[in-house]
């Protein structure tokens, strides 16, 4: 089964807004083993939207349209769909009841303009929207299923999961699909490919693929089976095998972030961490506090950008900075130890490096050189990173803060599952 995605919105064709929906939908389809033949994007123009829907329906058996079903006059998708399938728009009682129920739940009066959102082409199904006023629409059109969803990403995603999942299961003719993902850090994509080469053969079921994004490598597994249980069993076996081979390079599954994984380990072991950052300027602390509830393990961080602040707040000797330079193994080590003492935490992470684009002194201290320190009751370890000159300032800071989180993660894994 193939799909085509139609994105509607003048804000998309004027570049005021980035279309993340088409990419998200494409990823969902890929993970379900559905091929996406293409995306087409048009502005809020009745004729162009109708033409785009017809074109997509001619190409694929499943079309997902997003956007243009709001309550204002520039929302033309309902009318365009009616034109495309040759049915009149009519007030749909089920859609109206859904919108009225939402306003009742919100305890707000319903605007007359919202009634227009209950105008659905005759014969089409309504997809309930729990998070917004725009119901989705499901149409049949010359053997193609056309599904219209809102453009607001959060509403679109929630509705996709409940509506399209059913269509996919129906269309799969009894075949069930189960998908999963392992996220890795501190390993190259080619090394992952080497370790999983037999699992990644194209003709195999499950299918296993990798994606590299800003230093993290994701392993995606898509399993097909005659029943949901069979697909799940195949998926679980592959995920377990990949996990064994990749070992501690795997930090999480599905949407789990590196910081969420570290937060989970800190909470599990009842440990605390503090940070002392130079080149990352607060990014590491921000990552650790991305997670709601982080106050249980994170109490303080120091951004010691100047040499003076490294000495004053963390007790790094001035003479050491002068002799070794602020970007050095010795200073990273002293920063971590001083931070742990001052903060009174179980762990302290330090980062000092050259984020560039200026300030590099090759060959010894090029842009991209970063030292990470981790102090604990067991002492201190320091890791040297060379992020590479082709990376931007922002990427060097990104990789440095992730590598620091990963260093702490490995240390927490040593504690075992106590």
Per-residue contact flags (x/-) with a copy of itself for residues 207 to 236, judged by CB under 8 A:
----x-------------------------
Closer residue to a copy of itself in complex, CB, 264/282? 282
Determine, following the binding rule CB under 8 A, whether residue 130 of this chain makes contact with a copy of itself. Answer: no
Site string for a copy of itself, 342-361 (x = CB under 8 A): -x-----------xxxxx--
Q: Give the residue from 209, 217, 262 showing the smallest Cα distance to 238.
A: 209
- Contact predicate 317/324, CB 8 Å: no
Other Cβ atoms closer than 10 A to 223: 24
DSSP assignments along 155-206, one per residue: HHHHHHHHHHHHHHHHHTTT-EEEEEEEEEESS-HHHHHHHTTTTT-TT-SS
- The verdict on 365 binding a copy of itself (CB under 8 A) reads no
Q: Which stretch binds a copy of itself (CB under 8 A): 16-24, 110-118, 131-139, 170-178?
A: 16-24
Nearer to a copy of itself, 271 or 300 (CB): 300
Task: Give the residue, chosen from 160, 185, 298, 347, that forms a contact with a copy of itself under the rule CB under 8 A.
Answer: 298
**Are residues 368 and 356 in contact, defined by beta-carbon separation less than 8 angstroms?**
yes
Tell me if 42 contacts a copy of itself by CB under 8 A. Answer: yes
Nearer to a copy of itself, 125 or 215 (CB): 215
Distance (Å) of CA 292 to CA 287, 300, 331: 11, 15, 32
Residue in 1, 38, 199, 271 binding a copy of itself, rule: CB under 8 A: 38
Runs of H (alpha helix) within 86-180? 93-106, 153-171
Does 107 bind a copy of itself (CB under 8 A)? Our answer is: no
Q: How many residues are given for the chain?
A: 418
DSSP code string of 37-66: EEEEEE-S-HHHHHHHHHHHHHH-SEEEEE
Q: Shortest approach of a copy of itself to residue 125 CB, angstroms?
A: 26
Q: Which two tokens stand for residue 181?
A: 């993902």
190: which DSSP letter? H
Within 164-183, the residues that bind a copy of itself by CB under 8 A are: none
Give the footprint of a copy of itself on this chain (CB under 8 A).
7, 12-20, 22-30, 36-43, 48, 52, 211, 275, 277, 280-286, 288-290, 292-295, 298-306, 308-309, 313, 343, 355-359, 393-394, 397
């Amino acid at each position: 089964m193939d799909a085509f995605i139609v994105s509607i919105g003048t804000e998309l064709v004027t570049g005021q807004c980035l279309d993340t929906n088409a990419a998200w939908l494409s990823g969902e389809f890929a993970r379900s083993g559905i091929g996406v033949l293409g995306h087409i994007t048009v502005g809020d123009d009745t004729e162009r939207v109708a033409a785009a829907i017809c074109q997509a329906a001619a190409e694929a058996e499943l079309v997902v349209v997003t956007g243009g079903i709001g309550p204002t006059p520039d929302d033309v998708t309902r009318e365009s769909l009616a034109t495309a399938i040759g049915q009149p728009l009519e007030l749909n009682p089920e859609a109206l009841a859904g919108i009225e129920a939402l306003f009742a739940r919100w305890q707000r009066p319903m605007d007359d303009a919202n009634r227009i959102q209950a105008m659905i082409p005759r014969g089409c199904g309504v997809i309930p929207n729990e998070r917004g006023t725009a119901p989705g629409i499901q149409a049949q059109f010359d053997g193609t299923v056309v599904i219209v969803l809102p453009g607001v990403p959060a509403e679109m995603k929630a509705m996709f999961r409940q509506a399209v999942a059913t269509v996919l299961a129906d269309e799969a003719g009894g075949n069930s699909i189960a998908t999963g993902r392992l996220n890795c850090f501190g390993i190259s994509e080619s090394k992952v490919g080497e370790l999983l080469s037999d699992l990644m053969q194209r003709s195999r079921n499950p299918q296993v693929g990798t994606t590299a994004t800003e230093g993290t490598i994701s392993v995606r597994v898509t399993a097909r089976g005659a029943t949901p249980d069979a697909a799940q069993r195949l998926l679980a076996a592959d995920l377990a095998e990949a996990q064994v081979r990749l070992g501690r390079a795997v930090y999480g599954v599905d949407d789990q972030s590196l910081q969420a994984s570290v937060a989970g380990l800190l909470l599990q072991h009842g440990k605390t961490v503090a940070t002392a950052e130079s080149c990352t300027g607060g990014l590491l602390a921000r990552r650790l506090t991305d997670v709601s509830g982080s106050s249980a393990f994170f109490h303080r961080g120091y951004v010691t950008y100047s040499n003076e602040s490294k000495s004053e707040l963390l007790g790094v000797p001035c003479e050491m900075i002068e002799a070794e330079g602020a970007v050095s193994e010795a200073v990273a080590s002293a920063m971590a130890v001083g931070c742990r003492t001052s903060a009174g935490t179980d762990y302290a992470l330090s980062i000092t490096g050259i984020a560039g684009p200026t300030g590099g002194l090759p060959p010894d201290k090029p842009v991209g050189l970063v030292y990470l320190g981790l102090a604990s009751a067991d002492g201190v370890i320091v890791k040297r990173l060379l992020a590479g000159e082709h990376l931007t300032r922002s990427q060097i800071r990104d990789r440095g803060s992730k590598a620091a989180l990963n260093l702490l993660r490995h240390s927490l894994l040593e504690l075992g599952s106590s």
